[in-house]
Amino acid sequence: MQNLNYSELTQYAKALANFTPEQERVVMESGALLKPHLVEVTESFYDKLLAIPETRRFLQGRTERLKNTHLSWLDKIFTGPYDNEYTAYMYMVGVIHVRVDLPVEFMAAGMTLIADALSTKLNALYGGDHRQSRDTMAAINGVLGYSLIVMQKSYQSSMEEQLQKFLKITGITRALYQNMALAYKGG
């Protein structure tokens, strides 16, 4: 695994997800309201994934253990801090997903399912206060986006490592590889 600068990755992922210090505060404050509902969010998440044949095969026989891990992560989302340690944690989550050959699009879909479940909860908990619900959900989307970007970085690192191994084994230079890829793309 390549040597990562978690500080740079933290700053980059937060900037790309527009996860601001104000949003960090909002997410942590909303934790008190949402934490009692995280088991329900996790159950809904896994129910939806188990209903999809392509995702079900990654879950069978491990669902209860994965639910516990998922619940722990959701709790961490609403606790913070969103620092280099959190980034390293999320990167390792991505590494584990790479190791089990989880398609990268499953992570993005998972974040969508989580956001949907949390949005539904917020709307119910905030009643008619649509502005509060919207602002809180925007902050939660920020932390989910930040987390997803970090996990996706582990996929990119894995692909780069595999390419480096291929180039070393075959003796092909990166320039030749890129030229071959361009030629194949045109053909």
CA distance 93 to 28: 21
Q: Does residue 30 sit in helix, strand or coil? A: helix
- Token couple for 83: 């620092």
Cβ burial 1-19 (10 Å sphere, 16+ → b, else e): eeebebeebbebbbeebeb
pLDDT at residue number 175: 83
Chunked into runs of 10 residues, the chain (187 residues) has average pLDDT values of: 84 97 96 95 94 88 92 94 96 88 86 94 89 94 96 76 69 78 72
pTM for this prediction: 0.83
**For the chain, first and last CA: distance in Å?**
34
The pLDDT value given to residue 169: 81
The three-state secondary structure class of 49 is helix
Specify the pLDDT at position 159: 67
